[in-house]
Structure 1
């Protein structure tokens, strides 16, 4: 009789754990974005790794950059056809390509060296989130 009760109690306990587990499970906390200044200061450590960076994005011609006024640092944003197929990336690109528009945004991608002395680093963009449009004042 004791074995039968123990088996029933165990089954109830297991059923309860399975029912409650999804309610108590938490999503992994998102990594807070780094500043461009921090990434550029430790560029050797970040090379060829994925980074999450927040900054001000703007476009000049076909070049889009993400910058930070704190250190006057900037990195180029490389958005290939595969990335442009993603809704968040293509929407972001259209936003910053519009005349007089910039955006405060968080960019996730691979940090890499470009070999260009004017713009030595770039980020291969995988995704973009938290985009806030910023209108540039006329003449500045």
Structure 2
């Protein structure tokens, strides 16, 4: 009887360890987001690389921006046709489609310069995760 209990406990622990393995592997794959302030503040280091940043996304007409209130920094977001077919990106576009709509989101994409003095940087969006809609005004 005692041996059966030990075998059951060992089997249960082994099954739990095997089940937790894939979940741990998935979390390792996800790059933790940098702050937008860090990326903008040291932009020359990031130009031409893939960044993952979290910020407040909003749209004004056809322009979508990602901003951070701490440093009052912002970048424009560019979403090409191939990326907009991805489920995560299309869902994000719907979340911020109307004027005044805001969402907190983690955006991954290539960081680049734009040549525009008002918005000197942009991110070519590859993927979006953890999108949380915010009340109008971004608050």
TM-score relative to the length of structure 2: 0.79
Look up the match of 1:49.
49
The runs of at least 4 consecutive aligned structure 1 residues that moved more than 2 Å come to: 22-26
Look up the match of 1:61.
61
Give the distance between the partners of 2:90 and 2:110, measured in 1 at CA.
18
The one-character-per-residue Cα deviations of 1:7-53 (angstroms, maximum 9, x if unpaired) are xxxxxxxxxxxx99x92564161221011100001100000000000
TM-score relative to the length of structure 1: 0.78
The number of equivalent residue pairs is 119
Look up the match of 1:34.
34
Shift of 1:100: 2.9
Name the Cα RMSD after superposition: 2.0
Give the distance between the partners of 1:127 and 1:86, measured in 2 at CA.
8
- Which has the larger Rg? 1
The one-character-per-residue Cα deviations of 1:60-88 (angstroms, maximum 9, x if unpaired) are 01000000000000000000101111111
Runs (5+) with no aligned partner, structure 1: 1-18
